[in-house]
Every structure is written in structure tokens, then in C-alpha cells.
Amino acid sequence: MKSVNSSIDQAIFQVKAMVQNAIGQAEAHQEKLGLLIRLKQLKEKRLAGQKLSADEVKEVLKILCWKDLAGCCAPEKECPWHLAACEALGVDPAKLYKAKTKIVGEFLI
């Protein structure tokens, strides 16, 4: 005899999938929160006059989609990750974008 999924079984399956998805999203958000807290610590270190190490700069870049400021969007997009990384590093997003645009223009010509 063939087993038939009941409406209850289907609902259980759907809710389990929703819970797993929510757990995954919560873990991703928790990771971003940890990175942002670390960025704040690194900004405070920089503002105290201490130089960030290469490893610390790499920590800052971890929050970015491409893990590199070169691949970031224009400042007009107001990406919170880009702006947070720039703030932690003491980089003006508008000046960075101008420099990237200039370099790409020179590369292509």
C-alpha cells in the first residue's frame, strides 16, 4: 500500500524548512554583528593613534561582499557594509570612489 502524505505531514515539512532557514539567517546575522563589533574596536584603536596591522585590515574587509574595497559600490548606494569598513579604516568613501574611477579610466585608456 502506497503511503500518502497528510496535510499535517506537509505542514510539518514546511515549518521545519522555515525553522532551518530562520536559523541559518540568524547565524549569518550573528556573524555580521560580531564583525561590526570588531570593526568598532579597530576604529577606536586607529583613533587612539595606533596603526592597524595588515591582518586587522583584512578583518575589516571580511564584512564586504567582495572582501575588498576595490569591488565595492559607489558611495551613493549607501551600503552599510562599505560605509562601516571605510569608517573603521578612516577612508573617505567619496575620495575612494574618485580614486577607483581614475585608476580604471587610466587602465582602460
Is the pTM value of this prediction over 0.85?
no
The confidence score (pLDDT) of residue 3 equals 61
32-to-10, 11, 45, 104 alpha-carbon distances in Å: 33, 32, 20, 30
d(CA 63, CA 31): 9
- Please write the tens of the pLDDT for every residue from 41-95: 999 999 999 999 999 999 999 999 999 998 888 888 999 999 999 999 999 999 9
The confidence score (pLDDT) of residue 41 equals 98
Q: Is the pLDDT of residue 28 over 60?
A: yes
Instruction: Identify the CA nearest to 46 among candidates 101, 86, 104.
Output: 86
Q: Which residue pairs, CB below 8 angstroms and at least 24 apart, start in 93-101?
A: 96/69, 96/72, 100/70
The confidence score (pLDDT) of residue 2 equals 57
